[in-house]
């Protein structure tokens, strides 16, 4: 008798237990199980990983060319440091002309993937042009077009990463993407080194290999990356999670209808004028004016140490290996300690790199330390800046906000690089580098003070709503996750 009663109670419990439809395929949230059996939402989505693979292949292409460019300009073309400063400044600044436009196009149409495809395609075409270009003017024009392509694709790509990630672990997602990106940035210079070692003056061979990798990356993006719709998914998320957030259900709303394609809130320029975002742009631009460009750091090391030119591409490899090793740990640190603080504090590593490059005498250990510090600087600033902007901006204007921040930094670095080329020409390597280091010593504490409260909370309109892990479909039905507090760890679920 007692056994039948127990079975009856169990059957009644099963009948009263609520049931939910489980999402299938790409709409299923990528979650794991924590140490106490609770769901974890800190896994990086497949969209982020695939975008990282695209960046890996593209960076093999672009960095193999960038690694030989200082030598190609100053040795093969026989130009001065002023000319190289102009080209390097163009590499930094040409993309600034279109970064905001690329972000605006992604926000306006809510199709960031296809805007990114245009940017990657332009960069791939320039590799063909390098095979037939001769002379300073032709190379300069191709470099400009390549940077325009980079400017078009960067903000839409970062917007897709943000839309495909949980706000609590946004730094980790950017860290994973930047790690894959930097794997390619390490392989590219290493590939250039191998080519130049086997084929002296084999610049055109490097260009052919570069073109092949660019085409493969473009194909992966077009065929394998889903068409993420940030505004549509954010709109659906707010409506479909009302009951889980303690709000009454929508009256007469059809947000649960299959195949819904809501347009979301349209883009508006006024969403870019919040005081925290303006303050971040001022800080990023000011620090960008003190970033002289990697090429000058490497030329300073070669000028001081006098090593053979075929070893020059390995300097890029050293920096990128350090960046690759530190990107994820620094991203986790940014999620825990504060992204704005990590971004500003990362310039301490840049200061150390300048001191190492400007020293009067150096050793192998000094050179390696300089490369590691330069890699640490990029790990603390590259993806972290996009994460800070994402937490301070609304979904409807996120790509434009990221593009605006990147434009400010790119223009500042273009001015800094061109000015530093003149300064080097006037006073020499050591005094020029140490002068910039002295100014940076004063600027970093001021920047840390200026961003001290930017990590206390997000100000975007959708900051309190968790983005769906996969946003390519209309069934983004994942539950709400509370906004991350800087005092809580990235793994605390």
Predicted pLDDT of residue 403:
79
How buried is residue 239: exposed, middle or buried, by Cβ count under 10 Å (0-12/13-18/19+)?
middle
What pTM was estimated for this model as a whole? 0.60
Backbone angles phi, psi at 39, to 5 degrees: -65, 145
* Angle, CA 429 vertex, CA 426 and CA 433 arms, to 5°: 100
Is the separation of the CB atoms in 179 and 327 below 8 Å?
yes
Predicted pLDDT of residue 236:
53
pLDDT in tens, the chain (493 residues): 445 444 444 444 444 444 433 433 443 434 444 444 444 545 788 889 999 999 999 999 988 888 887 777 677 666 666 776 777 767 666 667 677 788 888 888 888 899 999 999 999 998 888 888 777 777 778 888 888 888 899 888 988 888 887 777 777 888 888 889 888 888 888 898 888 888 877 778 888 899 999 999 999 999 998 888 776 655 455 556 666 666 666 665 545 544 444 444 555 556 567 788 889 999 999 999 998 888 888 888 887 777 666 677 788 888 888 888 888 888 888 888 888 899 999 999 999 999 988 887 767 888 889 999 999 999 898 878 888 888 887 766 777 788 788 888 888 888 888 888 888 888 888 899 999 999 999 999 999 999 988 876 544 444 333 333 333 333 333 333 333 333 333 333 2
Alpha-carbon span 391 to 398, nearest angstrom: 9
CATH class of 48-225+271-450: mainly alpha
**Which pair of structure tokens corresponds to residue 396?**
């409807």
- CB burial readout 85-101, b (16+ within 10 A) else e: bbbbbbbbbbbbbbbbb
For the chain, what are the domain ranges? 48-225+271-450
243: how many CB neighbours lie within 10 A of its CB?
A: 10
Find tokens 């084929």 and name the residue: 199
Alpha-carbon span 164 to 173, nearest angstrom: 9
């Amino acid at each position: 008798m007692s056994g039948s009663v127990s079975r009856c109670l169990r059957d009644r419990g099963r009948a009263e237990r609520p049931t939910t439809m489980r999402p299938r395929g790409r709409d299923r949230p990528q979650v794991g199980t924590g140490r106490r059996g609770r769901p974890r939402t800190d896994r990086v989505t497949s969209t982020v990983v695939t975008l990282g693979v695209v960046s890996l292949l593209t960076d093999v292409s672009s960095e193999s060319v960038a690694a030989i460019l200082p030598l190609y300009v100053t040795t093969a073309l026989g130009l001065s440091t002023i000319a190289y400063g102009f080209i390097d400044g163009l590499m930094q600044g040409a993309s600034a002309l279109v970064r905001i436009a690329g972000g605006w196009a992604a926000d306006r149409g809510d199709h960031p993937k296809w805007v990114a495809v245009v940017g990657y395609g332009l960069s791939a075409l320039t590799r063909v042009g390098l095979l037939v270009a001769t002379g300073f003017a032709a190379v300069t024009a191709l470099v400009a077009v390549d940077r325009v392509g980079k400017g078009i694709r960067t903000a839409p790509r970062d917007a897709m990463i943000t839309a495909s990630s949980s706000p609590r672990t946004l730094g980790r997602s950017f860290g994973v993407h930047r790690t894959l990106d930097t794997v390619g940035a390490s392989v590219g210079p290493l590939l250039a080194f191998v080519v130049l070692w086997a084929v002296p003056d084999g610049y055109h061979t490097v260009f052919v290999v570069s073109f092949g990798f660019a085409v493969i990356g473009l194909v992966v993006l077009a065929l394998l990356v889903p068409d993420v719709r940030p505004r549509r998914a954010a709109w659906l998320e707010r409506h479909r999670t009302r009951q889980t957030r303690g709000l009454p259900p929508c009256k007469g709303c059809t947000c649960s209808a299959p195949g819904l394609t809501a347009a979301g809130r349209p883009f508006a320029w006024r969403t870019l004028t919040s005081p925290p975002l303006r303050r971040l742009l001022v800080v990023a631009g000011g620090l960008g004016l003190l970033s002289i460009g990697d090429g000058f750091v490497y030329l300073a090391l070669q000028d001081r140490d006098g090593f053979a030119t075929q070893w020059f591409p390995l300097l890029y490899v050293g920096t990128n290996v350090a960046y690759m090793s530190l990107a994820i740990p620094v991203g986790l640190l940014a999620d825990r300690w504060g992204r704005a603080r990590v971004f500003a504090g990362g310039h301490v590593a840049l200061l150390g790199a300048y001191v190492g490059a400007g020293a009067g005498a150096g050793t192998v250990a000094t050179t390696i330390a300089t490369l590691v510090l330069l890699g640490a600087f990029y790990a603390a600033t590259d993806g972290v800046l996009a994460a800070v902007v994402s937490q301070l901006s609304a979904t409807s204007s996120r790509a434009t906000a990221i593009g605006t921040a990147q434009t400010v930094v790119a223009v500042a670095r273009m001015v800094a690089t061109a000015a530093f080329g003149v300064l080097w020409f006037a006073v020499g390597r050591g005094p020029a580098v140490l002068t910039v280091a002295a100014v940076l010593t004063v600027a970093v504490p001021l920047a840390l003070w200026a961003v001290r409260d930017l990590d206390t909370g997000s100000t975007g309109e959708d900051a309190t709503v968790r983005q769906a892990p996969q946003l390519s479909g209309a069934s983004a039905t994942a539950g709400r996750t509370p906004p991350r507090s800087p005092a809580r760890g990235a793994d605390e679920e």
